[in-house]
Amino acid sequence: MHYRGHPFFAGSAPLSRLEMMIGDLVPRLDVPIVVLDGGDEGLAEKAKGKLQELGYTDVSILEGGCAGWGGELFSGVNVPSKAFGEFVEHHYETPRIPASELKKHLSEKKKLVILDSRPFEEYHRMNIPGGIDVPGAELAYRVHDLAPDPETLVVVNCAGRTRSIIGCQSLRNAGIPNRVVALKDGTMGWDLAGYECERGSERIGAAPSAEGRRKALQVADRVAKRFQVKFIAPSDLRQKDRTLYLLDVRTREEFEKDRVAGSRHAPGGQLVQAADEYVGVRNARVVLIDPERVRAVMTASWLNQMGWPDVHVLESEKGLPRESGPRKPIDFTPWVLTHEPAGTVLDLSTSLRFRRRHIPGAWWAVRSRLAEATRKFDATGSITLTSEDGILAHLAAPEAQKLWPQATVRVLAGGNAAWKGAWEEGIERATTTTDDVWYKPYDHGKDYEKHAKDYLSWEVALVDQIKREPAIRFKTYD
C-alpha cells in the first residue's frame, strides 16, 4: 500500500506483481535494491527472497520500513512527478483559466481550442466539451495545425492539475504565438463547478502537416538549446556498469509498427506524469527515442528539470536492430489451463477492475494475501484462477495449490481478456480489504466530490511538503 505513505524517491512494486514489474523497473541484476514495507508486515522479507530467486544479487531491507524512515513520508502515487508539476506552476507562474471562465468563452463562441493532454482511454471516458485528445509530448508536435491562428486561445486540460500544467508550460516553453492557459483543476474542476463532461469522444489530434512538422522541428531546436538537451549516438548507448533505459516516447501505434529492439513504450506525457512507473534506478542513463525528435526533446527538457542527470535523445537509429508488434510478456512457468471456469473462480485482478466487471460468481483476492481467501470458502473440488491477462494467475497458481492441496487448481486461458461470456459488476465477494490500489477520485462513485476536493488539495500541498525534504532538488533553466 505504497500510496499511504513512503519516502519521496521510493518506487512502487507490490509483492503480488513483483515478477511482472521488476524487469522493466530494474533491468540490471547487480543494481543495489532496497526494499521496504510499512514496517512490520513481513512483505519486505518475502520481496527480498523473490528478488534473489529472480537473480538480483544486491538486495537489502530498510530497517523499520516506512515506520522507521527518519524523513518526510509522502502519500499518494507518482509523487515526484506530481510535486514537480506544482513546482513548475509556481516557478513559471503558469497561467490558468477557471472552469467558469472557460464555460463563458464557450457560450460566447470565443476563438479557442481545448487540448486534452491525457491518454485516449482517459479522454474517451470523459472530457471537456469540444476537447481534442493530444496527449502530453504530442502537444508541441501537433498544435501548429490545431491552432494555426495566433489569435486562438489554447486551453490545455487533464483530469486534475499536473498534465494541465506541464502541457500548458510545454507550449509556452515552445514559444508558440498563441495565448496558452491550463484549465484549473481539469475535468475535476469542471465537474465540481457543476458543468457536464462529454463521454465517449473520439476526437484525436491529427499527425502534423508538412508545415506543422516544420514548425514543430523549429520548436524542438529552441527547447533543446534552452534546456540543454543532450543527444547520443547509437554507438555510445551502453556503458559498463550503468543501467540503460531505452524509452520510445511516440504513440503506441507508431511504437508497435516499428521500433528499436529492446525499447519500451513510454509516451512522453505519461513519462513525465508518472516517471516512477517507468524508471526505478536513480541516476541511470535514460535514452528517449523519436525519429521526429520533437516529442523526445520536449520530454527530455522536463526530465532535465526534474533533476535527472543522464537523459539523452537518440540522434539516429541507424544500425540498431528492429522489432515490431506488442511487447512479449514476461517469461513464466505455465500452469494447467482451462478454457471454461470450473468450481470456485478466484480473480486476482485489481479491485478496481474487478468492481467494473468480472466473471459471474467470481471471488476477488490479492495474490500476496491468498491465505485470507482460505477463510472465505472451502474449495475441495476445482479452483479456476484468472487475472487481467492470465499472467498473474499463472504466477499465483503454485501458491494457491499449496493453500488448497485437496483442490484441482487451473488457470483460465488468456485470463479475463479472453473471456467471451457474460460479466458481473460489484465486489460483494471480496476475500480481503480493497486497498490494493490507489483509487482516483472518479473511481469512488457517490463520494466523488469529496475525493476530488481532497485530491486537488493534496496536489497543491505538495509544494510545501517538498520544502521539508532537503534531498529534493528540481532544476531551473532561466
Residue with cell 479491485: 351
110 lies in the same domain as 182: yes
Domain end (from 371, 403, 418): 418
Cell of 425: 459488476
- The angle subtended at Cα 417 by Cα 415 and Cα 421, nearest 5°, is 90
How many folded domains does the chain comprise?
4
> Are the CB atoms for 125 and 108 separated by under 8 Å?
no
* Alpha helices, H only, 133-240: 139-146, 162-174, 186-192, 210-226
235 lies in the same domain as 165: no
395 lies in the same domain as 262: no
Residue 41 lies in a domain: yes
Q: Is the dihedral of CA 89, 197, 200, 442 positive or negative?
A: positive
Range(s) of the domain holding residue 392: 337-418
Give the closest residue to 212 by CA, choosing from 292, 308, 109, 299. 292
Residue 123 lies in a domain: yes
pLDDT of residue 241: 82
Residue 110 lies in a domain: yes
49 lies in the same domain as 171: no
pLDDT of residue 238: 78
pLDDT of residue 3: 56
109 lies in the same domain as 192: yes
SS3 363: strand
Residue 280 lies in a domain: yes
pLDDT of residue 478: 78
CA distance 404 to 476: 57
> Are the CB atoms for 413 and 384 separated by under 8 Å?
no
CA distance 476 to 173: 13
Residue 404 lies in a domain: yes
pLDDT of residue 40: 81
- Exposed/middle/buried for 450, CB within 10 Å: 0-12, 13-18, 19+? exposed
95 lies in the same domain as 205: yes
319 lies in the same domain as 369: no
CA distance 364 to 426: 10
Residue 173 lies in a domain: yes
169 lies in the same domain as 202: yes
104 lies in the same domain as 165: yes
CA distance 439 to 442: 8
Residue 233 lies in a domain: yes
Distance set, CA 120 to CA 128, 182, 416 (Å): 13, 19, 22
pLDDT in tens, the chain (478 residues): 555 689 999 999 999 999 999 999 999 999 999 999 998 889 999 999 999 999 999 999 999 999 899 889 999 999 999 999 999 999 999 999 999 999 999 999 999 999 999 999 999 999 999 999 999 999 999 999 999 999 999 999 999 999 999 999 999 999 999 999 999 999 999 999 999 999 999 999 999 999 999 999 999 999 999 999 999 999 999 777 889 999 999 999 999 999 999 999 999 999 999 999 999 999 999 999 999 999 999 999 999 999 999 999 999 999 999 999 999 989 999 999 999 999 999 999 999 999 999 999 999 999 999 999 999 987 778 999 999 999 999 999 999 999 999 999 999 999 999 999 999 999 999 999 999 998 888 888 778 899 999 999 999 999 899 989 888 889 999 7
Domain end (from 172, 189, 223): 223
Residue 374 lies in a domain: yes
Cell of 353: 477492475
35 lies in the same domain as 101: no
208 lies in the same domain as 119: yes
Domain end (from 183, 206, 223): 223
- Provide the CATH number for the domain around residue 348: 3.40.250.10
85 lies in the same domain as 206: yes
